[in-house]
Amino acid sequence: MSKVIVITTSLRAKSNSDILAGRLIAGAKDAGHDVELIGLKGKTVKFCIGCLACQKTQKCVLKDDAVEIAEKVRNADTLVFVTPIYYYEMSGQMKTLLDRMNPLYPSDYKFRRVYLLSVAAEDEETTPEKAVNGLQGWVDCFEKAELAGSIFCGGINNAGEASSHLSELEEVYEFGKKLL
């Protein structure tokens, strides 16, 4: 089975993203995948400074937690990004991490499938569109990879509230079981 990296990007205590990611991970593990969770809580991820040295060296000049995360991403078969939706877009910390994955672009990265799990207080069908489009833009830079799917859980707002949304928890578990 696949080596799956799940990256949760919410910094909130009792994060709904983390709760839902836990169910996705349970489904992926039950399907036989080797799953590693990486949370951005407590991590230092600096902004990309645009020097582009990484395009020649495949290493970032900045020294922080993004360097280790990028190496794990490089060696995974499947990536799952998990984000709360802020102002109808992915979290800023997720975008910052994506920018810091620039050293992977010229490398022999292993990942082929990328997924998105998003959660928001808003429950309109269009709520996650900009986050999906933003991740699609990142994936488009990696010609061997594809955005293989996304799942959105709307109508979840207060910290820890996702624990009581049983249908969404089951839906996310099933989504995790179907990861490739």
What pLDDT is attached to residue 86?
A: 95
Q: What is the pLDDT of residues 85-119, one digit of tens each?
A: 999 999 999 999 999 999 999 999 999 999 999 99
**In the beta sheet, which residues pair with residue 5?**
36, 79
What is the structure's pLDDT at 94?
98
**Sign of the CA dihedral 94, 100, 105, 108?**
negative
CATH number of the domain bearing residue 60: 3.40.50.360
**Cα Rg for the chain, rounded, in angstroms?**
16
The domain tally of the chain equals 1
- The pTM of this model reads 0.97
> What pLDDT shows up at residue 167?
97
Amino acid at 94: M
Could you tell me which residues come within 8 angstroms of residue 98 by beta carbon, excluding any fewer than 6 positions away? 134, 135, 138
What domain range is 76 assigned to?
A: 3-177
Residues of the chain with pLDDT under 70: none
pLDDT of residue 1: 83
Q: Which residues pair with 82 in a beta bridge?
A: 8, 117
